[in-house]
Amino acid sequence: MAANTDQEIAPLIENNDQPQDLEIDIPKEDYEPAPECCIYKVPSHFREANKKAYTPQLISIGPIHHGDTNLARMERQKQRYYNKFCQRTSKKTLEEFKSFIKAHVSGICRCYDIEFAFDHELKGFNFEKMILFDAIFIIELFLRNFEEVNDDFLFSKVWLRAKLETDLLLLENQLPFFILEALYNLAFVASNYPSFFYLTCLYLRLEQDQTFNKKGIKHFLDLTRSILVRTCPSNSDERTDRMYNATKLHEAGVKFKATGDVGDDYVLDDLLNVKFEEGVLQIPCFYVDYETETWFRNLMAFEQCHYPKVPCFCSYIVLLDHLVETDKDVDLLIKKKILINEMGSSAAVTTMINNLHTGVASLSMCYDKLAKDLNEYYDNSWNRRCATLNHVYFNNLWRGTATVTAFIVVVLTLTQTVLAILERAMPTK
């Protein structure tokens, strides 16, 4: 992977290879996470369902997976990007980076789940150097994406870019957003480059909404969730533990309508914007591929750890789980262009969706009112009778035409018969 770049690797940080202990004295047995804590080790009941979904496959970011030998090759790319970044800036800027990280190292540490960040004890490696290199890698990556650099293999291979983007959205693979934005501003605040927030949204293909309040964003995964939940229905007082699957709802006359765009610039900003109005269930369309499960699972794990009282995304997954029970449900959603299947088979999608909810504790259901309305629509016998009539006799143009023609023939025949009877019954003069 780095065959053509090893010659570019220069000494990284002069005289800075020795580990440095940080003055942090927190008894583990008495520890409670700091209010700033927002980067967690995935709980075991989530990890058991799919360990690979929470583990970086290409690159480590931050302390939790630092030193993983399976990710060693990308460390060379961090070094290469460091050298490229040095060409953009000055030695003074790099010194400012180091000073800023050193001054804020305690604040950075408080962002991590202490059980795992401090299991390293910050003695086996240089924590400040790790933050510096990981931050510079991300900044340089985003700048190259903005500049549309095409001769970099991280961008030239589609599968590699997809894997890298997925790794940058793993819960355990995050850097605090504040440190990335602060370092970027130290280097480029007076330049013609756009804001770091803009570069982040551009790389992650998130909507560039000027009204979005980025204040308080914890990291990339939190940013993604914050954008998604803007269109999620508010929690309601309605409570329901059941909902009919997509096939049954369709048979009862519910119309399924896909919303959103699946073009080249496809984004998922409106994913949670599900509505049911006047018999039409509107669901934003989305791709399902082999990266989808990883992204969904990490969003759910983060929400359960950090936003347990507002589980908007988990509620969406519960809704999806209700709609999809069998392959027929997936086939229906595909037919209605709500679901674009990149996994090859409907069975694979069904299994993936049905397994997502494992271990999730949904304390509130944002879609409870929607589920209640759908249940009432299905339980209305008149709706089911009309739907049956439509499915049996009017499900296509030819059958509908034949049905109407037959009906007209029957009516004409009856009319003719009645007229004949009346004519015979009338007295003759």
pLDDT per position as a tens digit, 170-224: 999 999 999 999 999 999 988 889 999 999 999 999 887 777 888 899 999 999 9
Query: Does the structure show a pLDDT above 80 at 336?
Result: yes
- Look at residues 196, 229, 262 and tell me which one is the last residue of a structural domain: 229
Cα 316–chain centre separation = 11
Tally of domains within the chain = 3
φ/ψ (deg, to 5) at 112:
-100, 150
Mean pLDDT of 155-164: 90
CA distance readout (Å), 281 to 29, 235, 272, 333, 343: 50, 19, 13, 11, 25
Query: Does the structure show a pLDDT above 50 at 12?
Result: no
374 is written with which tokens?
Answer: 């759908």
Asked if the structure places residue 291 within a domain, the reply is yes
State the pLDDT at residue 134: 98
Same domain, residue pair 250 and 355: yes
State the pLDDT at residue 344: 86
Query: Does the structure show a pLDDT above 60 at 35?
Result: yes
Same domain, residue pair 223 and 280: no
Q: Is 39 helix (H, G, I), strand (E, B) or coil?
A: strand
Region of 110 (left: φ > 0; alpha: ψ -120 to 50; beta: rest) is alpha
Same domain, residue pair 149 and 279: no
Distance between CA atoms of residues 423 and 412, nearest Å: 16
Nearest residue to 244 via CA among 236, 232, 252: 252
Distance between CA atoms of residues 401 and 405, nearest Å: 6
Nearest residue to 214 via CA among 195, 232, 233, 193: 195
Alpha helices in 205-291 (DSSP H): 220-228, 246-251
Percent of the residues in the chain that have a pLDDT greater than 70, as a whole number:
78
| pTM exceeds 0.85 for this model | no
Distance between CA atoms of residues 267 and 306, nearest Å: 24
Distance between CA atoms of residues 78 and 134, nearest Å: 7
Q: What is the pLDDT of the chain when averaged over all its residues?
A: 83
Asked if the structure places residue 114 within a domain, the reply is yes
Percent of the residues in the chain that have a pLDDT greater than 90, as a whole number:
59
Domain that holds residue 419: 400-429
Query: For residue 396, how many C-alpha atoms fall within 13 Å in the half-sphere facing its CB?
Result: 2
Same domain, residue pair 424 and 314: no
Dihedral (CA of 48, 314, 62, 105) sign: negative
Asked if the structure places residue 394 within a domain, the reply is no
- Look at residues 167, 194, 229 and tell me which one is the last residue of a structural domain: 229
Query: Does the structure show a pLDDT above 50 at 340?
Result: yes
Give Cβ neighbours of residue 232 (< 8 Å, ≥ 6 apart): 272, 273, 312, 313, 315, 316, 366
Same domain, residue pair 182 and 273: no
State the pLDDT at residue 260: 84
Asked if the structure places residue 156 within a domain, the reply is yes
Spatial contact of 200 and 145, defined as CB atoms under 8 Å apart: no
State the pLDDT at residue 172: 96
Distance between CA atoms of residues 267 and 18, nearest Å: 44
Spatial contact of 187 and 140, defined as CB atoms under 8 Å apart: no
Question: What are the tens digits of pLDDT across the range 90-119?
Answer: 999 999 999 999 999 999 999 998 553 444
Same domain, residue pair 225 and 239: no
Asked if the structure places residue 389 within a domain, the reply is no
Same domain, residue pair 36 and 82: yes
Asked if the structure places residue 313 within a domain, the reply is yes
Give the angle 307-202-334 at the CA atoms, nearest 5°. Answer: 70
